Chain A
Amino acid sequence: MSHAAAKTASPAGRTRDPFLLLAVPSLLLLGMLFALPIAFLLLKSFRDADGALSVAGYIAFFSDPYMLTALRRTIVIAFETTLLTLVLGYPTAFALARARGFVQTCILIAMILPLSVGVIVKAFAWSIVFRSDGVINKTLLGLGIIDEPLRLLFTETALVIGAANIFLPFMVLPIYAVIRQINPNLGPAAATLGAGPFFRFFRVTLPLTLPGVVAGAAFVFSMAVSMYVIPNLIVGERSQMLSMLIARSFLYLRDEQMGSTMSAVLLVIAAMIVIASSIILKRLSGRQA
Chain B
Amino acid sequence: MNTRPPQGECGMYLDVKGITKSYRDNTVLDKLDFSVLKGELVSLLGPSGCGKTTLLRMVAGLVSADSGTIRLAEREVTTLPAHRRNVSVVFQNYALFPHLNVRENVGFGLSARGMTKAQQKVPVEEALALVRMEQYADRPISALSGGQQQRVAVARALVVAPDLLLLDEPFSALDRKLRETMQVELKALLRSRGITAVFVTHDQEEALAVSDRIAVMNAGRIEQYGGPMDLYSKPATSFVLDFVGMSMRLAGTVKSAEGRLLRISTAYGDITAPGNFIAGARVLVGVRPELISPGLPQGSPEATNRVTATLSDVMCLGAKTLIYGAASGDDCLVCEESGAYAIGLPSAGSPVTFGWRVEDTLVYPAEHRQ
Contact = CB atoms under 8 A, between A and B. Distances in A.
B98 A208 contact: yes
B260 interface: no
Contacts of A192: 60-62, 82-83, 85, 87-89
A118 to B, nearest CB: 40
Interface in A200-220: 203-204, 207-208
A188 B111 contact: no
B91 A196 contact: no
B176 interface: no
B87 to A, nearest CB: 6
A264 B98 CA distance: 40
B112 interface: yes
A94 interface: no
A186 B160 contact: no
Nearest to B104: A203
Interface magnitude class on chain A = 20 to 34
Contact of A195 (B57, B60, B112): B112
Contacts of B113: 194
A2 interface: no
A3 interface: no
Interface in B82-128: 82-89, 91, 93, 95-99, 108-109, 111-113
Given A188-B57, A287-B140, A196 B83 contact: yes
Interface in A21-63: none
Contact of B95 (A189, A195, A208, A284): A189
A69 to B, nearest CB: 41
A185 B63 CA distance: 13
Given A196-B83, A199-B112, A203-B111, A191 B61 contact: yes
A260 B99 CA distance: 44
Given A183-B93, A288-B142, A195 B99 contact: no
Interface residues of B, number: 31
B351 interface: no
Of the listed residues B84, B109, B112, the one surrounded by the most CB atoms of chain A closer than 10 A to its CB is B112
Given A192-B83, A193-B108, A288-B140, A185 B95 contact: yes
A109 to B, nearest CB: 26
B99 A191 contact: no
Nearest to A207: B99
B49 interface: no
Contacts of B81: 191
Of the listed residues A194, A203, A208, A288, the one surrounded by the most CB atoms of chain B closer than 10 A to its CB is A194
A196 B82 CA distance: 9
Contacts of B98: 183, 208, 288
Nearest to A194: B112
A289 interface: yes
B202 interface: no
B140 A189 contact: no
A276 B111 CA distance: 31
21 contacts: A183-B93, A183-B98, A188-B57, A188-B82, A190-B108, A190-B112, A192-B60, A192-B83, A193-B88, A194-B83, A194-B86, A194-B112, A195-B112, A196-B112, A199-B111, A203-B108, A204-B97, A207-B99, A208-B99, A288-B141, A289-B142
Interface of B: 57, 60-62, 81-89, 91, 93, 95-99, 108-109, 111-113, 140-142, 156-157, 160
Interface of A: 183, 185-186, 188-196, 199, 203-204, 207-208, 284, 287-289
